[in-house]
Structure 1
Amino acid sequence: MKKSLSILAVLVLPAGCGESTPDSQTASPEGDGQTTQRPGYEGSDYPDAAPLKELPDAQGVQVGGKPVIEACNLLSLNDLKDLGIKVGSRPDPNVVNFERTYLVGDGKGPLETSFGTYSKADGLAVDKCAYALEPKDGTLQESLAVAVSQPAYVSGTAETAAAFVGAPASITLGQVQGDGSAGKMQDIAKRRDADLEKQTNALAGPSTVGYSSPVFPKPVAQPCPLLTADVVSPAIGTDASPLVSEIPGTAVGDIAFPHDPQPRNYVQLECGRGTGEDDPLSRKALSLTATSFLTEDAAKGYVDNTAGAHGGQAPSAAIGDESRIMTDTMSMRTQGVLIFRKGRFAFELYLVDHDGHPIGSTLAEANSLLVPAGQKIALAFQGT
């Protein structure tokens, strides 16, 4: 089933096939409407079903003065590609499809884990990488995850760490049936162990999930670097922790707006940062979704249609090229969400607080908490 951006009265057009070949009736000179076909993703409705690339970061991270091994460095996108394992394809960020929970070097807030020993890959963890895999038969959905625990943030880890050089790592492959990826578990485990040895000898930081696609040839906005501790802490009312939760879309999507039949290609990532609980329902955080388009007109159409469909009101201070606060009480994703644009990039910022704000923020709260954060984000973002 094709999934799309959630905008009222928006028609999402199915993409065609072909190898980066524009459809003469739907392609634009900027690249909108173009599609490409990837091996193993035949029949996809998306302009590009598998555009992900990974950019390593050689700068290691420390928490509490101790080095951190990032879970996604033990089972990376490059590892999966080498093993012939295909990540599930979906343009809208979704925790079921691909989620990276990792640690960065700044943030004074504490980390809190739900386990006394080490975290399991099929449970909660502050350092975890989880993938849904592309179904081979079109229906079966397999999952793959790896979690890492270390004494810096899991108090009981020291007693169980010997076999893993100070970093116990568990790995799971879920819902395995038929001729799926079950037969590759041994190879996956070997690759994880080899990566663990590499990380122990030369620690690296969290990699960046990037995009390389002939149907989206321009740079993509990365929301996580914009959620610095000085942006997040005032909005959540306490020190931000080192924990970052990132949900990248795994496909290039397309969208069309009312009165504009031209499909617009986009890439979308979501990032959250706040308190340091491994249980996301216990965190208080800022969530920032960045949607990159190929043209400024497409981003403008997205902001206008999204804000217009969900009671957009002018914020207390202008942000970027245009900005609105949504007041629709439908959900926390539409009540008190600050949406703004800079050039061809659209951003949506909201407060995640399941206890204090279960259905979103009021207009006054959004003006007080989100507008200052949005101003800092817009000022820091230098996308072209």
Structure 2
Amino acid sequence: MKKHLSILAAVVLLAGCGESTPDSQKAMAVSDGQTIQRPGYEGSGYPDAAPLKETADPRVAQVGGKPVIEACNLLSLNDLKDFGIRVGSRPDPNIVNFERVYLVGDGTGPLKNSFPSYSKADGEALNKCTYALESKDGTLQETLAVAVSQPAYVPDTAEAAAAFDGAPAGITLGPVHLYSKRRPVPGPDASGQATVILGDTIASFDFDLKGNGSAGKLQDIAKRVMQNLEKQTNAPAGPSTVDYSSPVFPKPVAQPCPLLTAGVVSPAIGADVSPLVSEMPGTAVGDIVFPKDPLQRNYVQLECERGTGEDDPLSRKALSLTATSFLSDDAAKEYVDNTAGAHGGQAPSAAIGDESRIMTDTMSVKTEGVLIFRKGRFAFELYLDDHDAHPNGISLAEANTLLVPAGQKIAQAFQGV
């Protein structure tokens, strides 16, 4: 699966910003290069290994006139914290560590699921939440995932749910039933998949947990998914917002997903935008050292993709936007200058933000045709994700045609935070 990830490591040393104003100097003194130790993450090499916070959103998305039950609301970051489960710590957005695939209220393009019956949490899905977990020995060896199917966007869901009628459930909580199938693993590890059903909604729950990690909490986790399914069915909520709360990054963070509106995305991909959003928040505050700059600059990074509505990301045509937040303009400028300079940065056909380049490095699909631009202390990387027609990235001319207008709209809409 091709995803445009940040290319920090190709330009700088990853370990963790600064401008000349008194405010930025104060922020640098108390934050840049500083670290905080979180319980359970002792020994982490990141400035803050667990800064995530989650805020509920009462705005409910609808598809086909029906409320969407968001998968990430069935097993949230707050739920994991309740059980003392630690999400894996990495500052770079990636599909293994933490991915949220969800549906929003706007977008007229069609949604397309790949598989008959209902979506499984161990495969592609239109509505899915995936976590890698930080186990007690500090390795990423555990995973949890939840995928939700509803008839409005997975047409065979009601029929699939009805097929379970009369089958003995492993767990029943009121009207919610859970049917599980284990994979053969040595005890006390726990691996398998559960199907949680309420009415014509199916939540597929996949788990791969270790005995010295979270396996002992599996029953509690499964019951929480069941309880949340009933709660969200009775009073659905929209996709929560993942943000950051850290003493080593005291400034607000840029959120890329709200910037990928239909008016930005549709002209670039030549198709109607679907309600599908794929979001990957970095799960740690990172730090970075630029060439010729001895200071460690703290940053936070999120990636978002929006376009057509296939559950298979290799079949989508979409815009991917990575937002990297620093604590000062100077750090963001260093990032853009070094990144673009290392990857054949060329001036775009029109200026965007405070500075901008189109990268033309043909050695990597992650840099060929990427538009990088800065606005204040924020750096943005805009990429056309089109595996079928552009598997190796896009040319300078194509980037000027497709990405520059989108980048101008994003820069105009983003007023800082």
Give the TM-score range, shorter chain: over 0.9
What amino acid is aligned across from residue 329 of structure 2 in structure 1?
A: E
2:10 corresponds in structure 1 to 8
SS at match of 1:198: helix
Q: How far, CA to CA, are the matches of 1:118 and 1:37 in structure 2?
A: 42
Q: RCO (CA 8 Å, sep 6+): is it higher in 1 or 2?
A: 2
- 8 A contact 2:373–2:380 mirrored in 1: yes
Aligned to 1:137: 137
1:87 maps to 87
Determine what percentage of the aligned residue pairs are the same residue. 78
User: Partner letter of residue 62 of structure 1?
Assistant: Q
Q: What whole-Å deviation, never above 9, does each CA across 1:26-81 have from its counterpart, x for those lacking one?
A: x9326210100000000000000000000110011101211110000000000000
Aligned equivalent of 2:286: 253
The 2-side partners of 1:374 and 1:13 are apart by 30
Alignment CA distance shift 1:191-1:258 (3 Å): same
Partners of 1:313 and 1:180 lie apart in 2 by 48
Q: Deviations over 1:130-187 (max 9, x none)?
A: 000002123351100000000011110111346413320011112x333221121110
CA distance, structure 2, for counterparts of residue 171 and residue 183 of structure 1: 16
1:165, 1:375 → 2: CA distance?
46
Q: Deviations over 1:304-361 (max 9, x none)?
A: 0000000000000000000000000122211000000000000000100111111101
1:225 aligns with 2:258: yes
What's the CA shift for 1:5? 5.1
2:216 matched to 1:183?
A: yes
In the alignment, what sits opposite 2:183? none
TM-score normalised by the chain length of structure 2? 0.86
**Contact kept? 1:322, 1:341, Cα under 8 Å:** yes
Q: What is the rounded CA distance, in whole Å, between the counterparts of 2:355 and 2:368 in structure 1?
A: 18
Report whether the alignment pairs 1:306 with 2:308.
Answer: no
Letter in 1 for 2:386: D
Aligned pairs for 1:147-296 within 5 A: 147-161=147-161, 163-174=197-208, 176-296=209-329
Residue type of the partner of 1:374? G
In 2: Cα distance, 1:305 partner to 1:267 partner? 18
Alignment CA distance shift 1:30-1:359 (3 Å): farther
Task: Name the SS for the 2:123 alignment partner.
Answer: coil
Contact 1:30–1:294 (Cα < 8 Å) also in 2: no
Comparing 177-186 and 207-216, the one that deviates more: 177-186
Question: Is 1:103 aligned to 2:103, yes or no?
Answer: yes
CA shift for structure 1 position 210? 0.4
Q: Residue 316 of structure 2 aligns to which amino acid in structure 1?
A: R
**Alignment pair present for 1:374 and 2:411:** no
Structure 1: tracts of 5 or more residues without a match: 15-26
Q: What is the DSSP-based 3-state SS (H/G/I as helix, E as strand, rest coil) of the residue aligned with 1:299?
A: helix
Superposition deviation, residue 197 in structure 1: 1.3
Pick the structure with greater CA Rg. 2
CA contact (8 A) 2:299 2:327 kept: yes
Render the CA deviation track for 1:227-254: whole Å, top value 9, x for unaligned: 0111111101110110000000000000
In structure 2, do the counterparts of structure 1 residues 102 and 183 end up closer, same or farther at CA, with 3 Å as the change threshold?
A: same
> Contact 1:4/1:91 (CA < 8 Å) preserved in 2?
no
- CA separation in 2, counterparts of 1:350 and 1:4? 11
Aligned-partner Cα distance in 2 for 1:336–1:29: 37
- In structure 2, how many angstroms separate the alpha carbons of the residues matched to 1:30 and 1:353? 42
The alpha-carbon distance between structure 1 residues 66 and 9, as it changes in their structure 2 partners (threshold 3 A), is closer
Find the counterpart in structure 1 of residue 54 from structure 2.
Answer: 54
State how far apart, in whole Å, the 2-side matches of 1:249 and 1:9 are.
Answer: 19
Give the TM-score of the pair, scaled to structure 1: 0.93
SS of 1:29's equivalent in the other structure is helix
User: Helix, strand or coil for the counterpart of 1:336?
Assistant: coil
Q: Report the Cα distance in structure 2 between the residues aligned to 1:207 and 1:13, rounded to whole angstroms.
A: 30
1:7 is displaced (CA, Å) by: 4.2
| Distance in structure 2 (CA, Å) of the matches to 1:124 and 1:265 | 34
CA RMSD of aligned residues (A): 1.5
Q: Which residue does 1:69 correspond to in 2?
A: 69
Aligned mates of 1:5, 1:256 — CA distance in 2 = 14
The question of 1:327 aligning with 2:329 is answered: no
Shift of 1:188: 0.6
The letter of the residue matching 2:14 is: V
> 2:181 maps to which residue?
none
Distance in 1 between the 2:242 and 2:11 partners? Answer: 31
- 2 CA distance for matches of 1:165 and 1:284? 33
Contact 1:7 1:306 in 2 (8 A): no
Q: CA deviation at 1:126?
A: 0.4
CA contact (8 A) 1:265 1:294 kept: yes
What amino acid is the match of 2:340? A
Tell me the amino acid that sits aligned with residue 108 of structure 2.
K
Cα shift at 1:196:
1.0
**Judging changes above 3 Å, is the alpha-carbon distance between structure 1 residues 104 and 4 closer, same or farther for their aligned structure 2 residues?**
closer
Q: Is the 8 A contact 2:11 2:339 kept in 1?
A: no
Q: Give unmatched runs, 5+ long, in structure 2.
A: 17-26, 163-196
Question: How far apart are residue 289 of structure 1 and its match?
Answer: 0.1
DSSP 3-state at the match of 2:349: coil
